[in-house]
Amino acid sequence: MILDIARLMLFPALMAFVAASDLLTMTISNRISLALVAGFLALAAFSGMGLHDFLMHLGAGAIVLVVAFACFAIGQVGGGDAKIAACVALWFGFGHILEFLLFASLFGGALTLLLLQLRQWPLPQLLNGQTWLLRLHDKRSRVPYGIALAFGALMVYPETDWIKAVDLTHLAML
């Protein structure tokens, strides 16, 4: 039962933290990435994930890490975004990477267009004291893409084996 609760809550909670952190501070702490890796390792061990599946998940995470850091090196994405994308790939394995990247791209495009539009308008005087909002509204500021990564991940997570393995009969008795 604890394993089922961890499957249901851990990844979504960390993704919500990623989105909130990137929105409010435009940074994603390394601690979140480490928590995602540790959570994956713990759940993989306690779930009895086979060695082949475990290595495939590691491979998916490693490939996304290499590609994302190449994008970081040329200034296309932030370092936190690169790490989070790799952590999500670690959790999803090859089976859901493309779906995740599609959703993250769609949400990222929508977020970018929304911010570009909102940055054209003056910020209402009432909101001028909010540091995070001023940073988000600044035309020179980047797009907090961690929000799109988190939303993309949360769209795909219900389709993963992590959720499909949850025994809802035990949870219904609570």
Structure tokens at 168: 């809802």
Q: What percent of the chain stands above pLDDT 90?
A: 84
Q: Which residues, including other chains, have CB under 8 Å from residue 97's CB and lie 6 or more apart?
A: 60, 64, 89
pLDDT tens readout for residues 61-84: 999 999 999 999 999 999 999 999
Residue 174 has pLDDT above 80, yes or no: no
pLDDT score for 127: 83
State the CB neighbour count (10 A cutoff) for residue 5. 13
Buried b (16+ CB within 10 A) or exposed e, 47-85: eebeeeeeeebbebbeebbeebbeebeeeebbebbbbbb
What is the model's pTM?
0.92
Domain residue ranges of the chain, discontinuous segments joined by +: 2-166
Beta-carbon contacts of 113 under 8 Å, excluding residues fewer than 6 positions away, are: none
Residues 6+ apart with CB under 8 A from 146: 18, 19, 21, 22, 28, 78, 80, 81, 84
Does pLDDT of 26 surpass 80?
A: yes
Read off the pLDDT of each residue in 78-95 and give the average, rounded to a whole number.
Answer: 97
Beta strands in 28-107 (DSSP E): none
pLDDT of residue 3: 87
* pLDDT for the residue numbered 171: 57
pLDDT given for residue 173 in this prediction: 60
At residue 146, does pLDDT exceed 70?
yes
Query: Closest by alpha carbon to 113, among 146, 82, 143, 149?
Result: 143
Compute CA 140 distance to the chain's CA centroid, rounded to the nearest angstrom.
24
pLDDT for residue 1: 77
- For 29-67, the pLDDT digits (tens) are 999 999 999 999 999 999 999 999 999 999 999 999 999
